[in-house]
């Protein structure tokens, strides 16, 4: 999304899928994580639920199915007729299910002017300062951790 400047223009062919952990709230989820087919049964646990925001011309729709991070990969494989990479993405639900191909795209969405953004370098001696990492290393060694030289 860094390539967008000024107004963001979503066309009928665009889809943006954004996943992000719920800042610790997922650890308090009332539903235990399920499993999914995977190369190794030990890797099949899905983990905590993670919200996904799909931005496309379809408006006002909320999906309530179970999707996996590999559901985005499943969409790419489906769209370009590619083979699955793993058993997990082969069994994943296609996130394209949330799209409506039966109606023309709604392109009359409002346009928002976004202010320009210019990042600044991190200040010297800020959060990940070298001395902090040395102190963390010393603490780990003092509590019995074996670290590479």
- For the segment 104-146, what is each residue's pLDDT rounded down to a tens digit? 766 666 677 878 777 777 666 655 566 777 888 888 888 888 8
- Predicted pLDDT at 92: 92
- Predicted pLDDT at 124: 67
pLDDT in tens, 49-86: 777 778 776 666 778 888 888 899 999 999 999 999 99
- Predicted pLDDT at 73: 93
What are the residues facing 13 on neighbouring strands? Answer: none
Whether the CB-CB separation of 55 and 18 falls below 8 Å is answered with: yes
pTM tops 0.75: no
Contact partners, residue 35, CB within 8 Å, separation at least 6? 44, 45, 46
């Amino acid at each position: 999304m860094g390539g967008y400047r000024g107004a963001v223009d979503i066309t009928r062919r665009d889809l943006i899928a954004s996943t992000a952990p719920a800042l610790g709230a997922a650890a308090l989820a009332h539903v235990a994580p399920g499993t999914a087919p995977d190369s190794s049964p030990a890797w099949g646990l899905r983990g905590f639920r993670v919200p996904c925001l799909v931005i496309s011309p379809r408006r006002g729709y909320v999906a309530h199915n179970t999707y996996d991070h590999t559901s985005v990969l499943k969409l790419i494989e489906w769209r370009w007729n590619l083979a699955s990479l793993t058993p997990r993405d082969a069994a994943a639900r296609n996130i394209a299910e949330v799209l409506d191909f039966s109606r023309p795209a709604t392109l009359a969405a409002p346009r928002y002017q976004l202010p320009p953004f210019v990042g600044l370098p991190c200040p010297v001696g800020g959060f990940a300062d070298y001395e902090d990492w040395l102190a963390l290393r010393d603490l780990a060694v003092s509590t019995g951790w074996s670290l590479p030289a």
